[in-house]
Homo-oligomer: A and B are copies of this chain.
Amino acid sequence: MDTDRIERVREFNRYYTRHLGVLTDRYLGQDRPLGQARLLFEIGAGSDVRELRERLGLDSGYLSRLLRALTDQKLITVRAHPADRRVRIAELTAAGHAERAELDRRSAAGIAELLDRLTDGQRDQLLDAQARIRRLLRTAALTVEPVPAGDPAARDCLHRYAAELATRFPEGYDPATITAADQVDGTTLLAREDGRPAGCGLWIHLAPRIAEIRHLWVAPPARGLGLGRRLLHALEADAAAHGVSIVRLGTHAALTEAIELYRRGGYRQIAGYSDSVYNQLAFEKTLGQSSQSS
């Protein structure tokens, strides 16, 4: 195995957490237990308790006691949800907002002190390297997996896809155009980032050994990570594994990034094969033996 690289990453982690992680957390948890401090941040403008429990991954008993401690300190107030009085809503008081701002200021002060010791160019280098690492970690966190055609997360992606097209196409977009679940005789792929849906795509048969790729979409926050290309390749590989040798797809002239993606992916433009009004352009690719997922 690649032990040298692994060791270097671990070395970095040790160094980084010791120097920066500690730095910021210590500032945060200076007067106040870390749990309470985090909760103050997480409450923000006001959140219901159930949501907080979910976001912070806490036991209901523990969270309840944390909330109690904060109300005793008059930093938050807790009241019942107007619609469902079982649910309770936590909100920051004026003192809570002040405390939160103070914690925020302190945590930022630690970073400011660090940045102060660097030249302007070095600061930019730092930010640049951090952005690159983050991008790579996010890329590694992305998963692409087949899901049943009716999968709720996938359907949700398709609706967001439709909503986006409606704003991008001058003529709008009719949501009824989306392929119905029972119409998918190929495969639906769903991409996730840390469990949250991040993109989708599906293919269906046009004829024996001929497939059509549809509804390839990447959620805005996941763009720029190469996910479109990855989904496209995965769909091709999956279709090939099901005996498909030719893949077609149609797209709209307004979707310039998509067109670029298909061109780079080895697709060539063909005459229109579809009667969908949105498919202004058509593309085709012959799947060879070399088609691989990645």
C-beta contact mask, A122-143 vs B, less than 8 Å → 1, else 0?
1101110111111011011100
C-beta contact mask, A9-27 vs B, less than 8 Å → 1, else 0?
1101101110111001000
| A20 to B: closest C-beta gap in Å | 6
Chain A, interface size category, equals 35 or more
List the B residue with the shortest CB-CB distance to A107. Answer: B10
Indicate which residue in B15, B24, B125 contacts A10 across the interface (CB closer than 8 Å).
Answer: B24
A94 interfacial by beta-carbon distance below 8 Å: no
A117 interfacial by beta-carbon distance below 8 Å: yes
Q: Are A118 and B130 in contact (CB under 8 A)?
A: no
List the B residue with the shortest CB-CB distance to A9. Answer: B111
Q: Are A133 and B140 in contact (CB under 8 A)?
A: no
Q: Are A130 and B133 in contact (CB under 8 A)?
A: yes
- Contacts known (A1-B112, A13-B20); A8 close to B136, Cβ less than 8 A: no
Q: Are A108 and B17 in contact (CB under 8 A)?
A: no
List the B residue with the shortest CB-CB distance to A108. Answer: B6
Q: Are B112 and A6 in contact (CB under 8 A)?
A: yes
A181 interfacial by beta-carbon distance below 8 Å: no
Chain B residues contacting A137 (CB-CB under 8 Å) are 15-16, 19-20, 114
A5 interfacial by beta-carbon distance below 8 Å: yes
Q: Are B21 and A17 in contact (CB under 8 A)?
A: yes
List the B residue with the shortest CB-CB distance to A126. Answer: B136
Indicate which residue in B8, B13, B134, B136 contacts A122 across the interface (CB closer than 8 Å).
Answer: B136
Most buried by B among A24, A117, A119, A133: A133
Q: Are B15 and A108 in contact (CB under 8 A)?
A: no
Q: Are B118 and A139 in contact (CB under 8 A)?
A: yes
- Contacts known (A136-B125, A137-B15, A137-B20); A9 close to B118, Cβ less than 8 A: no
Q: Complex Cα distance A83/B13, Å?
A: 38
Indicate which residue in B107, B117, B126, B294 contacts A133 across the interface (CB closer than 8 Å).
Answer: B126
Residues of chain A touching chain B, judged by Cβ–Cβ distance below 8 Å, are 1-3, 5-10, 12-13, 15-17, 19-21, 24, 107-108, 111-112, 114-115, 117-119, 122-123, 125-127, 129-134, 136-137, 139-141, 294
Counting from the closest, the 3 A-B pairs by CB-CB distance are: A117-B140, A129-B129, A12-B130
